[in-house]
Amino acid sequence: MLIIRNYEKTAEELLVHYDKASFYEEWLLNETWEIGFLASETEKSKVSFELLDYESSVFWQGQEFIIKEITPFASGEKCFKLIVATHVYYTLQDGYQYETLTGRRSPSQLLAHIFKDDSRNFSWSIRGSYISADKENFGDANYIKLINEILKIFPIAMIPDNRRLSFIPLDEFGKKINEPIRYKYNTDDVRFVINTYNLKTQIMGFGARQEDDESKYVFNPITYTSPESQKWGIRIQDPVRDERYQHADSMEERLRTDLQDYPEITGIVTLKWKTELEKGDYVPFIYEPMGINTYIQVVGIKTFPDIPNKPPEIVLSNTKQTMTKLLISLRQEGLM
């Protein structure tokens, strides 16, 4: 069920006579969350059809989406509108924080700085504890850009629920699913790029310096070598230099997390049947020719809710790329 409300918030109608086969929902991690559909004008739908205008709201499954793209056309005497509406969260790009701050800040302090002048009725909450990070001139950008900057620095996932934003530890985003993605098992349509361009097996970490002698470190720089080095040999990744770290064991955990000691896997699968996979879930990916049997994350889902039994298209990735770079890569490989 789709409800349309005009930009002025003075009229609201249930949308009737839209092509249910055309309706889709698409989500891409840190990039977009949108719905799209084709609506037609009939005697019964004249009012709701007129409400389908730029910046009008579309409510679906309790979430608000804002119409950003309309393609009007006619066929005979009948008029149509092809609609694309993005989640209300993305209207944060219309807000701007001109002031900047410099110094060591926690995620909650940075978020408070972003939203201190917000008049768009957004609220936020954050869960978990994080090591503060040094920031220089944080600000002078739109809200979305600044939020994405926080997500790149800290191990945090952002979950929007209309105008309520929840920031949670990244390891709490998504769950592990036991049902694997396996060629010739639950999919015949696998379009994957697997590469070892960034595969490394060893990394060094440098922590805090001593206050009375900056030429010395609080703990000796440590080297972490992945067990994968037995298979791939020693391949050295750029070191981590972070003076927030006072203890070697904390630095070693950071090195284990940062080291890219596995092939990068990005791609799209169309499953043979509907699935319980949700945003951020981790699913086993099995690819026998390279001996790969590893968990990779659902970073994109396109579903077709009004088409019975039509399975979703799933985007999977274990890379640290942004979704924009990932999708460009897939297009270059001819996979999209």
For the chain, the domain total comes to 4
Asked if 243 and 287 sit in the same domain, the reply is no
Asked if 244 and 266 sit in the same domain, the reply is no
Residue in 218, 199, 216 with CA at minimum distance from that of residue 208:
218
Asked if 190 and 274 sit in the same domain, the reply is yes
Predicted confidence at residue 273, as pLDDT, reads: 64
Asked if 189 and 266 sit in the same domain, the reply is yes
Predicted confidence at residue 94, as pLDDT, reads: 93
Asked if 85 and 109 sit in the same domain, the reply is no
Measured torsion, CA atoms of residues 172, 110, 300, 228, in degrees rounded to the nearest 10: -60
Asked if 190 and 270 sit in the same domain, the reply is yes
Predicted confidence at residue 110, as pLDDT, reads: 96
Domain span including residue 104: 95-172
Q: What is the pTM of this model?
A: 0.75
Asked if 324 and 185 sit in the same domain, the reply is yes
Per-residue pLDDT of the chain (336 residues; tens, 9 = 90+): 899 999 999 999 999 889 999 999 999 877 789 999 999 998 888 899 999 999 999 999 999 999 999 999 998 888 999 999 999 999 999 999 999 998 889 999 999 999 998 888 899 999 988 888 878 889 999 999 999 889 888 888 889 999 999 999 888 888 888 888 766 666 666 666 777 888 999 999 999 898 888 889 999 999 999 999 998 999 999 999 888 788 888 889 889 888 988 887 777 777 666 677 888 898 887 766 656 677 888 888 888 888 887 888 888 877 655 444 544 444 454 444
Asked if 38 and 140 sit in the same domain, the reply is no
Predicted confidence at residue 95, as pLDDT, reads: 93
Residue in 2, 12, 17 with CA at minimum distance from that of residue 58:
2
Asked if 191 and 266 sit in the same domain, the reply is yes
Here the tokens at position 13 are 């109608």
Asked if 320 and 235 sit in the same domain, the reply is no
Q: Cβ(255)–Cβ(224) under 8 Å? A: yes
> Tokens 């972490």 appear where?
224
Q: For residues 223 and 216, what is the distance between their CA atoms, to the nearest angstrom?
A: 17
Please state the φ and ψ torsions of residue 174, each to the nearest 5 degrees: 85, 160
Residue in 257, 248, 247, 243 with CA at minimum distance from that of residue 203:
257
Measured torsion, CA atoms of residues 109, 111, 114, 116, in degrees rounded to the nearest 10: -70
Angstrom CA distances, 278 to 191, 317, 330, stand at 20, 14, 22
Asked if 188 and 328 sit in the same domain, the reply is yes
The DSSP letter of residue 225 is E
Sheet of 164-169, strands arranged across: 123-126, 164-169, 156-161
Asked if 17 and 81 sit in the same domain, the reply is yes
Q: Cβ(82)–Cβ(71) under 8 Å? A: yes
Q: For residues 259 and 256, what is the distance between their CA atoms, to the nearest angstrom?
A: 6
CB atoms within 10 A of CB 77: 6
Predicted confidence at residue 292, as pLDDT, reads: 67
Q: Cβ(73)–Cβ(25) under 8 Å? A: no
